[in-house]
């Protein structure tokens, strides 16, 4: 299947300056390495100036070099070596930093574009009608659940996070109508999570899911939010999907906070004051 972004580069080449064509040619012949380069690296390899790189990006209707790299990473499938990050045994720490950050950024941008805002809106509306919210997840998703609990506790919810299947089931059976469960799963196929979701629904609670589309968790949820990250977990625990789930939790928290009245600012100020004594004061803080 033709790569749309690569076709865009090729079609733009006839209208480019000679120096910009050099950049385009190098990019087309070295896509695997270019996606991990700094602007100075590409300029050196293509034997042009850094301003030429910027002009090349603008010729593609992109704001700059980082936007170009994100588009390139999105459009070009990179064969993984370790996890989804094409990490090689001889990569140094600089290589690892660039590859993990660049790949994660491109995956997050794709996830952002794939998320349906209406799903987020419906989930926020359900949360606004509740006072009790529980977050369920296992492994890396359990860490996301804990972070979500902290955020929603500050938003004046009775909020808890459980990563133990027995605690999930026991707590779910005590839920009531209009309470909310947020079920978080990178795979969307965790058997114990599905059981806890069913128990919550039997009590009349609403279940929001953060999981890939067309999976058992997503299909069972009352309010699914589809979050799909192409991730190879044979070597590493989920990495980028964890970040995407955290960002969706932030979207839900901000959406809820947006509907709080002026008195909510006073509530947040009190929370901040309550922990101020736990911090060091001065330049060493």
Predicted confidence (pLDDT) per residue in 152-192, tens digit: 998 889 999 999 999 999 999 999 999 999 999 988 989 99
* 23 and 156 co-located in one domain: no
SS3 per-residue string spanning 27-51: HHHCHHHHCCCCHHHHHHHHCCCHH
Give yes or no: residues 173 and 252 share one domain.
yes
State which of 57, 82, 113 marks the end of a domain: 113
DSSP label at 99? H
Domain count of the fold of the chain = 2
CATH number for 179:
3.40.50.10490
In a domain? residue 280: no
| Same-domain check for residues 122 and 92 | no
> Is 109 found in the same domain as 158?
no
CATH number of the CATH domain containing 17: 1.10.10.10
Q: Are residues 139 and 261 in the same domain?
A: yes
Is 223 part of any domain?
Answer: yes
The CB density around residue 278, as the number of other CB atoms within 10 Å, is: 6
Average pLDDT of the residues of the chain: 86
Pair (165, 192) in one structural domain: yes
Share of the chain above pLDDT 70, in %: 89
Q: Which of these three, 69, 89, 113, is where a domain ends?
A: 113
User: What is residue 147's predicted lDDT score, i.e. its pLDDT?
Assistant: 95
Q: Which of 94, 113, 132 is the last residue of a domain?
A: 113
**Which structural domain, as residue segments, surrounds residue 105?**
4-113
Q: Are residues 128 and 258 in the same domain?
A: yes
| pTM for this predicted structure | 0.67
The residue-averaged pLDDT of 16-33 equals 89
In a domain, 8, yes or no: yes
Q: Can you read off the two tokens belonging to residue 261? A: 């009245």
DSSP E strand stretches across 21-138:
132-136
Q: Mean of the pLDDT values across residues 56-73?
A: 90
Same domain membership, residue 223 and residue 105:
no
Indicate whether 133 belongs to any domain: yes
Say if residue 24 is in the same domain as residue 146: no
């Amino acid at each position: 299947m033709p790569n749309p972004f690569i076709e865009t580069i090729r079609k733009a080449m006839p209208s480019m300056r000679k120096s910009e064509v050099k950049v385009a040619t190098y990019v087309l012949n070295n896509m695997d390495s270019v996606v991990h380069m700094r602007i100075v690296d590409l300029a050196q390899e293509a034997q042009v100036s850094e301003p030429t790189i910027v002009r090349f990006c603008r010729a593609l209707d992109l704001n700059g070099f980082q936007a170009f790299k994100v588009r390139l990473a999105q459009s070009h499938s990179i064969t993984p070596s370790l996890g989804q990050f094409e990490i090689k045994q001889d990569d140094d720490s600089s290589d690892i930093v660039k590859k993990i950050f660049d790949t994660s950024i491109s995956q997050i941008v794709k996830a952002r574009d794939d998320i349906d805002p209406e799903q987020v809106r419906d989930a926020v509306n359900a949360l606004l009608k509740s006072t009790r919210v529980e977050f369920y997840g296992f492994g890396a998703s359990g860490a996301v659940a804990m972070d979500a609990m902290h955020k929603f506790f500050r938003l004046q919810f009775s909020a808890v996070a459980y990563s133990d299947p027995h605690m999930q089931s026991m707590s779910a059976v005590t839920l009531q109508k209009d309470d909310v469960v947020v079920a978080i799963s990178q795979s969307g196929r965790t058997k114990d999570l599905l059981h806890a979701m069913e128990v919550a629904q039997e009590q009349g609670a609403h279940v929001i899911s953060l999981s890939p589309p067309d999976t058992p968790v997503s299909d069972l949820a009352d309010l699914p939010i589809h979050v799909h990250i192409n991730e190879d977990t044979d070597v590493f625990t989920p990495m980028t999907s964890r970040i995407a789930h955290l960002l969706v939790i932030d979207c839900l928290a901000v959406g809820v906070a947006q509907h709080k009245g002026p008195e909510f600012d006073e509530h947040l100020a009190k929370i901040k004051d309550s922990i101020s004594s736990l911090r060091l004061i001065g330049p060493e803080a």
